[in-house]
Amino acid sequence: MYTIGIDLGGTNIVAAVVNEKYEIVAKAKTPTAMPRTPEEIFDDIAKVCRESMEEAGITIADIDSVGMGTPGTVNSQGIIEFANNLGFDHVPARQMLADRLGIDEVYIENDANCAALGEAYAGSGNGAKDFVAVTLGTGVGSGVIVEGKLVTGVNNAGGECGHMVIVVDGEECTCGRKGCWEAYASATALINQTKRAMQEYPDSVMHELAEKEGKVSGRTAFDAMRHGDIAGIKVVDQYVKYIACGLINIVNALQPEVICVGGGICNEGETLMRPLRRYVEAERYSVYSKIQTKIVKASLGNDAGIIGAAILKQAK
């Protein structure tokens, strides 16, 4: 049997046929082309599902279940209660997809949670049953898996580790709290930290680097560090400490088998991962335990969400 995994994004809709080894065997894609009505969007979702089945040479009779990852908040009935960038307000996604595809087994979940599932089962988690995925992007997304199942909590809103405060009364966060991990460890936060350091260090090579690139980016401080620039070194070291702080919080609370870290910043590879592991090793509560949480880089990229969506039936 096969399953279908769908990634509904603000830019593209991607559907893929996934086999029992969690491998993508066929994939189809179409632009989301916002703004459109939910009906139009779901017609296209069904269309790319059919295209992916056609490419795989199978029919809906070969499909055990369909799963979809979406931005926003999904309730336990598979209704997308709210998705800002799709303009969705209480869209009955599960039903709309079931009707269009003629299959009952349809599962809808937040896209960050799907990505966590994909990494846990088929990516950097290597099948780990207790797993947390953290994505350092515009914000800090996360998905928590315990005993192979997503932890979504009593209201399907769980897994928001990015909104754990690490600095009481600290930087304003988009969520309304002050001092959230996201406000210190996201790519956005790194850029702000870089800009502040540039003001403080007018001689830093970061000014040149930013001018060349046309903007201050998540790479500016890392590149400066590689030039031996003091300001760059300081920014990177402090940023890595902030990431580590949240990771250690997660380790102490849950002691997962693996935490994977993803997002554009992770293109720095071991430049980021090595000091990150060193800080986590030094500070975790379980410092004397023989078995320790592994901190690894996410490995599936954009496919994580599609594969995770395809697994939803078994992991919800």
Binding status of residue 127 toward a second copy by CB under 8 A: no
For 52-94, give the secondary structure using H, E and C: HHHHHCCCHHHEEEEEEEECCEECCCCCEEEEHHHCEEEECHH
Q: Draw the binding track, 242-271, toward a second copy (x: CB under 8 A; -: no contact).
A: x--x--xxx-xxxxxx--------------
Between the two ends of the chain, the Cα-to-Cα distance in Å is 19
Q: Draw the binding track, 58-97, toward a second copy (x: CB under 8 A; -: no contact).
A: ---------------x--------x---------------
Q: CA 215 to CA 128: how far, in whole Å? A: 39
Residues 69 and 141: beta-carbon distance below 8 Å: no
Binding status of residue 1 toward a second copy by CB under 8 A: no
Buried b (16+ CB within 10 A) or exposed e, 135-158: bbbebbbbbbbeebebebeeebeb
Nearest to residue 133, comparing CAs of 269, 296, 316?
A: 296
Q: Which is nearer to a second copy, 208 or 283 (CB)?
A: 283
Binding status of residue 175 toward a second copy by CB under 8 A: yes
Q: CA 57 to CA 17: how far, in whole Å? A: 10
Q: Which is nearer to a second copy, 53 or 250 (CB)?
A: 250
Taking the complex as a whole, the smallest distance from the CB of residue 25 to a second copy amounts, in Å, to 32
Taking the complex as a whole, the smallest distance from the CB of residue 78 to a second copy amounts, in Å, to 16
Only one residue has tokens 């560090």, namely 225
Taking the complex as a whole, the smallest distance from the CB of residue 281 to a second copy amounts, in Å, to 12
Taking the complex as a whole, the smallest distance from the CB of residue 252 to a second copy amounts, in Å, to 4
Taking the complex as a whole, the smallest distance from the CB of residue 188 to a second copy amounts, in Å, to 17
Q: Which residues bind a second copy (CB under 8 A)?
A: 73, 82, 130, 142, 144, 146-147, 149, 151-161, 163-168, 170, 175-177, 184, 241-242, 245, 248-250, 252-257, 283, 285-293
